[in-house]
Amino acid sequence: MSEEILKIVDLKKRFGKNEVLRGVSFSINKGQTKVVIGPSGAGKSTMLRCINRLVEPDGGKIYFNGVDITSKKVNIMEVRSKIGFVFQHFNLFKHLTALENVKIGLKIVKKMSDKEATERAYKALENVKLSDCAHKYPAQLSGGQQQRVAIARALAMDPEIILFDEPTSALDPELVGEVLDVMKSLSKKHVTMLVVTHEIGFALGVADEILFFYKGIIWERGEPNKIIYNPQKKETKDFLKRIFELYSRGEAE
Protein backbone atom coordinates (compact mmCIF):
# COMPACT_ATOMS: atom_id res chain seq x y z
CA MET A 1 0.00 0.00 0.00
CA SER A 2 1.48 3.27 -1.09
CA GLU A 3 2.07 5.77 1.68
CA GLU A 4 -0.11 8.83 1.85
CA ILE A 5 2.19 11.80 1.34
CA LEU A 6 -0.40 14.54 1.48
CA LYS A 7 -3.90 14.59 2.91
CA ILE A 8 -6.05 17.69 2.84
CA VAL A 9 -9.14 17.69 5.01
CA ASP A 10 -11.86 20.32 4.72
CA LEU A 11 -9.48 23.16 3.86
CA LYS A 12 -11.01 26.62 4.19
CA LYS A 13 -9.72 30.10 3.39
CA ARG A 14 -11.37 33.47 3.00
CA PHE A 15 -10.03 36.85 1.94
CA GLY A 16 -12.24 39.46 3.55
CA LYS A 17 -15.77 38.47 2.56
CA ASN A 18 -14.59 36.28 -0.28
CA GLU A 19 -14.63 32.59 0.66
CA VAL A 20 -12.00 31.23 -1.69
CA LEU A 21 -11.69 27.70 -0.28
CA ARG A 22 -14.84 26.17 1.15
CA GLY A 23 -13.82 22.78 2.35
CA VAL A 24 -11.35 21.12 0.03
CA SER A 25 -10.53 17.49 0.73
CA PHE A 26 -8.33 15.03 -1.11
CA SER A 27 -5.14 13.06 -0.73
CA ILE A 28 -2.11 12.05 -2.74
CA ASN A 29 -0.09 8.87 -2.40
CA LYS A 30 3.58 8.46 -3.03
CA GLY A 31 4.42 8.37 -6.72
CA GLN A 32 1.10 9.74 -7.87
CA THR A 33 0.53 12.69 -10.15
CA LYS A 34 -2.69 14.58 -9.60
CA VAL A 35 -3.82 17.47 -11.77
CA VAL A 36 -6.14 20.26 -10.69
CA ILE A 37 -8.11 22.10 -13.34
CA GLY A 38 -10.74 24.79 -13.08
CA PRO A 39 -11.68 28.37 -13.91
CA SER A 40 -9.31 31.20 -12.96
CA GLY A 41 -9.74 32.75 -9.58
CA ALA A 42 -11.39 29.64 -8.21
CA GLY A 43 -8.75 29.35 -5.53
CA LYS A 44 -6.41 26.76 -7.02
CA SER A 45 -3.29 28.83 -6.46
CA THR A 46 -4.42 29.71 -2.95
CA MET A 47 -4.88 26.05 -2.18
CA LEU A 48 -1.34 25.25 -3.27
CA ARG A 49 0.00 28.08 -1.16
CA CYS A 50 -1.92 26.82 1.85
CA ILE A 51 -0.17 23.49 1.58
CA ASN A 52 3.23 24.96 2.36
CA ARG A 53 1.60 27.67 4.43
CA LEU A 54 2.79 30.58 2.35
CA VAL A 55 -0.85 31.46 2.96
CA GLU A 56 -2.36 30.48 6.30
CA PRO A 57 -5.58 28.48 6.06
CA ASP A 58 -8.61 29.57 8.05
CA GLY A 59 -9.88 26.08 8.69
CA GLY A 60 -9.31 22.43 7.99
CA LYS A 61 -6.20 20.32 8.32
CA ILE A 62 -3.26 19.37 6.16
CA TYR A 63 -1.41 16.15 6.85
CA PHE A 64 2.04 15.77 5.39
CA ASN A 65 3.39 12.26 5.84
CA GLY A 66 0.86 11.77 8.60
CA VAL A 67 1.88 14.87 10.51
CA ASP A 68 -0.58 17.72 10.94
CA ILE A 69 1.36 20.66 9.52
CA THR A 70 -1.37 23.17 10.19
CA SER A 71 -0.53 23.06 13.87
CA LYS A 72 1.51 25.92 15.27
CA LYS A 73 4.03 23.60 16.83
CA VAL A 74 5.39 22.48 13.51
CA ASN A 75 8.68 23.88 12.18
CA ILE A 76 7.21 25.11 8.94
CA MET A 77 10.56 25.90 7.34
CA GLU A 78 11.66 22.33 7.70
CA VAL A 79 8.39 21.20 6.17
CA ARG A 80 8.79 23.63 3.30
CA SER A 81 12.19 22.24 2.49
CA LYS A 82 10.48 18.93 1.85
CA ILE A 83 7.75 20.38 -0.36
CA GLY A 84 8.87 21.64 -3.74
CA PHE A 85 7.08 24.60 -5.30
CA VAL A 86 7.25 25.71 -8.92
CA PHE A 87 5.73 29.14 -9.57
CA GLN A 88 3.89 30.48 -12.57
CA HIS A 89 6.38 33.30 -12.91
CA PHE A 90 9.45 31.16 -12.15
CA ASN A 91 10.64 33.46 -9.36
CA LEU A 92 14.29 32.68 -9.92
CA PHE A 93 16.78 34.69 -7.89
CA LYS A 94 17.92 37.24 -10.39
CA HIS A 95 21.31 37.94 -8.91
CA LEU A 96 22.39 34.28 -8.99
CA THR A 97 23.38 32.03 -11.84
CA ALA A 98 21.27 29.01 -12.69
CA LEU A 99 23.64 26.80 -10.75
CA GLU A 100 23.64 29.13 -7.76
CA ASN A 101 19.85 29.30 -7.84
CA VAL A 102 19.69 25.55 -7.49
CA LYS A 103 22.46 25.44 -4.86
CA ILE A 104 21.27 28.13 -2.53
CA GLY A 105 18.46 26.16 -0.88
CA LEU A 106 20.81 23.22 -0.40
CA LYS A 107 23.45 25.31 1.31
CA ILE A 108 21.32 27.58 3.45
CA VAL A 109 18.32 25.44 4.34
CA LYS A 110 19.74 21.94 4.11
CA LYS A 111 23.12 23.14 5.34
CA MET A 112 25.09 21.13 2.83
CA SER A 113 28.73 21.71 2.12
CA ASP A 114 29.54 23.67 -1.00
CA LYS A 115 30.99 20.58 -2.69
CA GLU A 116 27.94 18.43 -2.01
CA ALA A 117 25.56 21.20 -2.99
CA THR A 118 27.36 21.79 -6.27
CA GLU A 119 27.24 18.09 -7.12
CA ARG A 120 23.55 17.86 -6.37
CA ALA A 121 22.81 21.03 -8.26
CA TYR A 122 24.58 19.83 -11.38
CA LYS A 123 22.61 16.59 -11.24
CA ALA A 124 19.35 18.48 -10.97
CA LEU A 125 20.27 20.67 -13.91
CA GLU A 126 21.12 17.59 -15.93
CA ASN A 127 17.71 16.21 -15.10
CA VAL A 128 16.11 19.20 -16.77
CA LYS A 129 18.71 19.19 -19.57
CA LEU A 130 20.27 22.53 -18.70
CA SER A 131 23.79 21.65 -17.60
CA ASP A 132 25.32 23.93 -20.18
CA CYS A 133 23.41 26.91 -18.82
CA ALA A 134 24.75 26.48 -15.31
CA HIS A 135 26.63 29.77 -15.28
CA LYS A 136 24.06 31.91 -16.98
CA TYR A 137 21.92 34.46 -15.20
CA PRO A 138 18.11 34.35 -15.38
CA ALA A 139 18.08 37.44 -17.58
CA GLN A 140 20.09 35.51 -20.15
CA LEU A 141 17.69 32.57 -20.29
CA SER A 142 14.44 32.09 -22.15
CA GLY A 143 11.21 31.65 -20.22
CA GLY A 144 11.21 27.93 -20.78
CA GLN A 145 14.79 27.63 -19.59
CA GLN A 146 14.06 29.71 -16.52
CA GLN A 147 11.14 27.53 -15.58
CA ARG A 148 13.25 24.41 -16.01
CA VAL A 149 15.87 25.90 -13.70
CA ALA A 150 13.05 26.55 -11.25
CA ILE A 151 12.05 22.90 -11.48
CA ALA A 152 15.68 21.86 -10.96
CA ARG A 153 15.79 24.13 -7.90
CA ALA A 154 12.77 22.36 -6.45
CA LEU A 155 14.06 18.91 -7.43
CA ALA A 156 17.49 19.37 -5.90
CA MET A 157 15.96 19.70 -2.45
CA ASP A 158 14.83 16.09 -2.78
CA PRO A 159 11.26 16.88 -1.83
CA GLU A 160 8.57 14.38 -0.98
CA ILE A 161 6.14 16.14 -3.29
CA ILE A 162 6.35 18.96 -5.82
CA LEU A 163 3.57 21.52 -6.22
CA PHE A 164 3.23 23.19 -9.62
CA ASP A 165 1.26 26.44 -9.89
CA GLU A 166 0.30 26.83 -13.57
CA PRO A 167 3.92 26.30 -14.57
CA THR A 168 3.41 26.98 -18.28
CA SER A 169 0.83 29.77 -18.21
CA ALA A 170 3.43 32.52 -18.39
CA LEU A 171 5.34 30.96 -21.26
CA ASP A 172 5.25 31.69 -24.96
CA PRO A 173 3.50 28.80 -26.72
CA GLU A 174 6.62 27.42 -28.38
CA LEU A 175 8.36 27.14 -25.01
CA VAL A 176 5.59 25.27 -23.25
CA GLY A 177 6.59 21.91 -24.71
CA GLU A 178 10.06 21.76 -23.22
CA VAL A 179 8.70 22.35 -19.71
CA LEU A 180 5.87 19.85 -20.08
CA ASP A 181 8.37 17.28 -21.32
CA VAL A 182 10.40 17.69 -18.15
CA MET A 183 7.29 17.39 -16.04
CA LYS A 184 6.16 14.28 -17.89
CA SER A 185 9.51 12.61 -17.36
CA LEU A 186 9.35 13.42 -13.65
CA SER A 187 5.91 11.92 -13.44
CA LYS A 188 7.09 8.78 -15.17
CA LYS A 189 9.91 8.52 -12.65
CA HIS A 190 7.21 8.47 -9.96
CA VAL A 191 7.93 11.84 -8.45
CA THR A 192 4.87 12.76 -6.38
CA MET A 193 3.29 15.78 -8.06
CA LEU A 194 0.30 18.06 -7.61
CA VAL A 195 -0.13 20.20 -10.69
CA VAL A 196 -2.48 23.11 -11.29
CA THR A 197 -2.66 23.66 -15.04
CA HIS A 198 -4.75 24.23 -18.15
CA GLU A 199 -2.69 21.73 -20.15
CA ILE A 200 -5.24 18.96 -20.62
CA GLY A 201 -2.91 16.98 -22.86
CA PHE A 202 -0.45 16.69 -20.03
CA ALA A 203 -3.18 15.55 -17.66
CA LEU A 204 -4.41 12.94 -20.05
CA GLY A 205 -0.88 11.68 -20.51
CA VAL A 206 0.38 11.22 -16.98
CA ALA A 207 -2.20 12.08 -14.33
CA ASP A 208 -3.49 9.45 -11.94
CA GLU A 209 -6.50 11.58 -11.16
CA ILE A 210 -7.95 14.90 -12.26
CA LEU A 211 -9.61 17.19 -9.74
CA PHE A 212 -12.00 19.77 -11.15
CA PHE A 213 -11.98 22.75 -8.86
CA TYR A 214 -14.98 25.04 -8.85
CA LYS A 215 -16.46 27.50 -6.36
CA GLY A 216 -13.92 26.68 -3.68
CA ILE A 217 -14.33 22.93 -3.58
CA ILE A 218 -13.52 19.85 -5.60
CA TRP A 219 -16.57 19.76 -7.80
CA GLU A 220 -15.82 16.53 -9.61
CA ARG A 221 -12.92 14.10 -9.66
CA GLY A 222 -11.86 10.94 -11.35
CA GLU A 223 -9.62 9.25 -13.83
CA PRO A 224 -8.44 11.50 -16.66
CA ASN A 225 -10.32 9.65 -19.39
CA LYS A 226 -13.55 9.74 -17.46
CA ILE A 227 -13.36 13.40 -16.51
CA ILE A 228 -12.23 14.73 -19.85
CA TYR A 229 -14.36 12.61 -22.16
CA ASN A 230 -17.33 11.92 -19.94
CA PRO A 231 -17.77 14.59 -17.32
CA GLN A 232 -20.82 14.16 -15.14
CA LYS A 233 -21.49 17.64 -13.84
CA LYS A 234 -22.69 20.54 -15.96
CA GLU A 235 -20.03 22.95 -14.69
CA THR A 236 -17.27 20.52 -15.58
CA LYS A 237 -18.69 20.15 -19.06
CA ASP A 238 -18.95 23.92 -19.52
CA PHE A 239 -15.40 24.49 -18.36
CA LEU A 240 -13.93 21.82 -20.57
CA LYS A 241 -15.91 23.11 -23.50
CA ARG A 242 -14.43 26.51 -22.94
CA ILE A 243 -10.91 25.15 -22.69
CA PHE A 244 -10.97 23.24 -25.94
CA GLU A 245 -13.29 22.23 -28.72
CA LEU A 246 -10.90 19.54 -29.91
CA TYR A 247 -11.03 16.98 -27.14
CA SER A 248 -14.58 17.25 -25.99
CA ARG A 249 -16.63 14.32 -27.27
CA GLY A 250 -19.29 13.81 -24.64
CA GLU A 251 -20.53 17.36 -25.23
CA ALA A 252 -22.31 18.78 -28.25
CA GLU A 253 -25.59 17.00 -27.36
Contacts with other proteins by CB under 8 A lie at: 52, 54, 77-83, 85, 87, 89-95, 104-105, 108-109, 137-140, 150, 153, 157
What SS3 class is residue 156?
Answer: helix
Longest dimension (CA), the chain: 62
CB of 21 to other proteins, least distance (A): 19
CB of 144 to other proteins, least distance (A): 17
DSSP 8-state code for residue 222: E
* C-beta of 163 vs 186, nearer to other proteins: 163
* C-beta of 34 vs 49, nearer to other proteins: 49
* C-beta of 34 vs 80, nearer to other proteins: 80
CB of 94 to other proteins, least distance (A): 5
CB of 149 to other proteins, least distance (A): 11
* C-beta of 171 vs 206, nearer to other proteins: 171
What SS3 class is residue 36?
Answer: strand
- Alpha-carbon separation of residue 81 from 28, 57, 78, 165, 242 (angstroms): 18, 19, 5, 17, 37
Residue 148: closest CA among 163, 165, 169, 126: 126
Amino acid in position 17: K
CA distance 136 to 154: 18
Residue 51: closest CA among 89, 1, 13, 15: 13
* C-beta of 82 vs 129, nearer to other proteins: 82
* C-beta of 64 vs 239, nearer to other proteins: 64
CB of 205 to other proteins, least distance (A): 26
CB of 92 to other proteins, least distance (A): 7
Q: Which residues of 211-236 are buried (b: 16+ CB within 10 A; e: fewer)?
A: bbbbebbbbbbbebeebbeebeeeeb
CA distance 21 to 51: 12
